[in-house]
Structure 1
Amino acid sequence: MNRTSLTAALVAVPTAALALSGCVAKADLAASGGPLTVTSDATTCQVSTAKATSGTLAFTVTNKGPQITEFYLLADDALRIVGEVENIAPGASRTLTVVAQPGNYFTLCKPGMIGQGVGKAAFTVTGDTVAITGEDAEQKQQAVTLYAAFVKDQTAQLLPAVRSFTEDYAAGRDDAARAAFPKVRAYYERIEPIAEALGDLDPRIDYREVDAKAEGLDWTGFHRIEKDLWVPAKDAKNSDDSPAWKDWEPSTPQQRVTHASALVADVQQLYDYVHGNDFATSLNEQGVAGLSNGAISLLDEVATTKITGEEDWWSGTDLYDFAANVEGSKMAFSLVRDFTLSKGDAGKKLVAEIDKGYAALEKSLADHGSAERGFTTFADLTDADKRALIDDINALAEPLSKLTTTILG
């Protein structure tokens, strides 16, 4: 991770047509065959139809479950949030209105507003592309609102995942904890700049051993637990006097409980922050420039530590973090893409270069696996593999560095 201050950095998702909820379409309301209704309960998320015509769609969501819930319309990667409505109390109904472009989507409900949700189902929009009108300021506000929804969703998945991961670690179920480690971290890595802007919260959650020692801090968080799970071998590289072993021993069972509890508490603090007023105020103050800065900063995260193998030193799972950072960066870009295109020929050229850069980087990364199938460990990458990834990062970083100035120009 990048250890510099990133107080202005934000993030967001892959390109493709994202609709800004609440904006007005030039076309008539979508002829979807009647109102779209959603029934949410503890285990299901039933949508009245799985197809609609492009245009303005209104989903009326009724909560028949015992917990407060929320409803999402997700893009085809099941990660980007096209629209969401939250805080639907038991017995209550709320409506989500979006301008939906042709494409493939998913619907999802999230009882308790935490975790991965229930009832994810495919949803298809057919028809012609719909032009979106509305005041520029309104569209920019909608972009910021969608980003806020994404961050809240990632922390809502991160918190229970961390609880489960640390329970396995504290109980000595190391195989389960090792398997979960890189997948849990992905939620954090997609939104890492948010924690980095909160003083010592990111150091507590995500500092490497060398960084904590350099700053005289207690070493806690993911990487402290990582070292217990992947105990360094005592060999010529890691002898008793090496930095890996000097002044360190594997944690006792009680120390494991302490480390686990501390990480859960810190992630809880992050969750509370992004669901509070201070986070919303910060996003609104930074606006779309914050989104573009976030796209840039997350790619910097990849370039400074992930591609060097310095992040997940013990586990070698750096490519999982790499992929999550790229996803977060591309998400941020997707929310400001249309604003960039509106800047004339220069904006269109820049978008084309950035699109090409993300595609090339994703293709190179896919050569080494995926989060679902598993990635190659960093130690197994050849010098040629690393060089190819570095070249793709640099090729994307150059046009991406112009994004904020283009949007504000």
Structure 2
Amino acid sequence: MRALRPSTVAAIAAVAAVTAVAGCAAKNDGKAGGGKGTIEVTATDSSCELSAKEFPAGHVRFAVQNKGSKVTEVYVYAPGDRIVTERENIGPGTSTEITAEIKAGSYEIACKPGMKGDGIRQKVTASGKATTAKRDPKLDAAVAAYRKYAQEQADQTIPKAQKFADAVKAGDLDEAKKTYAVSRVGWERTEPVAESFGDIDPKVDVREDGLEKGQKWTGWHKLEKSLWEEKKISGDDKKLADQLMTDLKDWQKRVGKAEITPTSMANGAKELLDEVATGKVTGEEERYSHTDLVDFQANVEGAEKTYQLLKPVAAKNDPALAKELDKQFKAIDARLEAHRDDKAADGFVSYDTVDKGERKELSDGVNALAEPLSKLAAAVAAAK
């Protein structure tokens, strides 16, 4: 679902300049574990260079500089392309910092110029016997609470998605349209967890222009196009509805096995804001149904839930950051409230009725929240 239209990629460069964290290219001091050092990642249009390819396990800080001409993103992959952490929308000439909790083992770091494909990869090793970094017991409680939340969202999605799938299979166009957006809410709230598995997201949430070579288009957005653009339900669509449920039930079963840490939670919250910036504000995500505001709210709700779980520790380590996040979450909630429609099945106005000025206000709100949210992982990593 990450492949973007050229116009969107160009716009992201400006957004990334606003949200980038300045001054994050400190030299590696050989103490990357425990949050004390930095691994430099220098991305260009044709390379992905690292200041070190082996570092101690624990809290690792990656300082990313994009010296290329394209918007890029950086991923840390465990074996099987399981996503440990990621950062999208790094504009040309900008920098950002990623703090992640890395267990001992082998990984790959990928830079993706143009935010497409498998990326330019480097093999790295996190050394040491420790399997987890030391942390505040309150963070263990936050992880447990978030794991429960993610499972609840998956469990609640299945019956809602089943209503949507049943409507498609019955050939009921109106009912399918009515149940489409609400079937996606739980997924959108916890999308980083689903994406961490690597293989589920491309099956259920990919857009047509995000397909890899030879990939069959399946999932919500293929059905969305049939319902709103083609205005009919085919026999293949009915089969796809069954496939969607199979894939979502697979996600539901695997949520409990997801690798979740305080920093992955914090980085996931930032990823949800990136999703809003690149897909919902632009109208790219729900280009046929124009139900983008439903996804928008779900992404924000998921990010805010994560922040609230981490807040007891984050506020202790960085009171000013917590104060700013409280302010910006309140502000973005108010901006969304202005576009509610109680008569609509999904609770919001159609996004194609939101004019350019209103979209800019939403975008500004997202940018204002994304910048402090990018610092949340570092705040919780500082806990001892």
Classify the TM-score, shorter chain.
0.5 to 0.7
Tell me the CA shift for residue 391 of structure 1: 0.8
Tell me the CA shift for residue 371 of structure 1: 7.9
User: In 1, Cα distance between the equivalents of 2:372 and 2:165?
Assistant: 40
Secondary structure of 1:8's partner?
A: strand
Q: Please tell me whether the aligned partners of residues 2 and 300 of structure 1 are also in contact (alpha carbons under 8 angstroms).
A: no
CA distance change for structure 1 residues 407 and 372 in 2, over 3 Å: closer, same or farther? farther
Q: Which runs of 5+ in 2 are unaligned?
A: 4-72, 77-82, 87-133
Tell me the CA shift for residue 164 of structure 1: 1.6
Secondary structure of 1:231's partner?
A: helix
One-letter code aligned to 1:389: L
Tell me the CA shift for residue 2 of structure 1: 4.0
CA distance change for structure 1 residues 371 and 330 in 2, over 3 Å: closer, same or farther? farther
How many positions carry a matched residue from both structures?
A: 257
Secondary structure of 1:305's partner?
A: helix
Tell me the CA shift for residue 376 of structure 1: 1.6
User: In 2, Cα distance between the equivalents of 1:8 and 1:362?
Assistant: 29
User: In 2, Cα distance between the equivalents of 1:317 and 1:263?
Assistant: 19
What is the aligned partner in structure 1 of residue 315 from structure 2? 341
User: In 2, Cα distance between the equivalents of 1:367 and 1:8?
Assistant: 36
Q: Per-residue CA shift, 1:185-243, capped at 9, x if unaligned?
A: 1111001111211122101100011112x54310000001111111258xxxxxxxxxx
User: In 2, Cα distance between the equivalents of 1:372 and 1:289?
Assistant: 39
Q: TM-score normalised to the size of structure 2?
A: 0.63
Kindly report which structure 2 residues correspond to 1:304-315, keeping only aligned pairs within 5 A, or say none.
304-315=278-289
One-letter code aligned to 2:370: A
| Residue in structure 2 matching 1:266, options 230, 247, 257 | 247
Greater relative contact order (Cα < 8 A, sep 6+): 1
What is the aligned partner in structure 1 of residue 147 from structure 2? 148
Tell me the CA shift for residue 256 of structure 1: 2.4
User: In 2, Cα distance between the equivalents of 1:379 and 1:220?
Assistant: 25
One-letter code aligned to 2:172: R
Q: Per-residue CA shift, 1:332-389, capped at 9, x if unaligned?
A: 111111111111xxx1111111111111111111111168852121211111001101
CA distance change for structure 1 residues 328 and 372 in 2, over 3 Å: closer, same or farther? farther
Q: Please tell me whether the aligned partners of residues 273 and 300 of structure 2 are also in contact (alpha carbons under 8 angstroms).
A: yes
Q: Which runs of 5+ in 1 are unaligned?
A: 11-134, 234-249
- Alpha-carbon RMSD across the aligned residues, in angstroms, is 2.1
| Residue in structure 1 matching 2:225, options 195, 217, 227 | 227
What is the aligned partner in structure 2 of residue 329 from structure 1? 303
Tell me the percent identity. Answer: 34
One-letter code aligned to 1:358: F
Kindly report which structure 2 residues correspond to 1:120-131, keeping only aligned pairs within 5 A, or say none.
none
Q: Please tell me whether the aligned partners of residues 317 and 377 of structure 1 are also in contact (alpha carbons under 8 angstroms).
A: yes
One-letter code aligned to 2:151: K
| Residue in structure 1 matching 2:274, options 275, 281, 300 | 300
What is the aligned partner in structure 1 of residue 355 from structure 2? 382
User: In 2, Cα distance between the equivalents of 1:137 and 1:369?
Assistant: 39
Kindly report which structure 2 residues correspond to 1:68-107, keeping only aligned pairs within 5 A, or say none.
none
User: In 1, Cα distance between the equivalents of 2:203 and 2:237?
Assistant: 15
User: In 1, Cα distance between the equivalents of 2:336 and 2:380?
Assistant: 28
What is the aligned partner in structure 1 of residue 378 from structure 2? 405
What is the aligned partner in structure 1 of residue 157 from structure 2? 158
Q: TM-score normalised to the size of structure 1?
A: 0.60
What is the aligned partner in structure 2 of residue 318 from structure 1? 292
User: In 2, Cα distance between the equivalents of 1:188 and 1:9?
Assistant: 18
What is the aligned partner in structure 2 of residue 211 from structure 1? 210
User: In 2, Cα distance between the equivalents of 1:8 and 1:388?
Assistant: 32
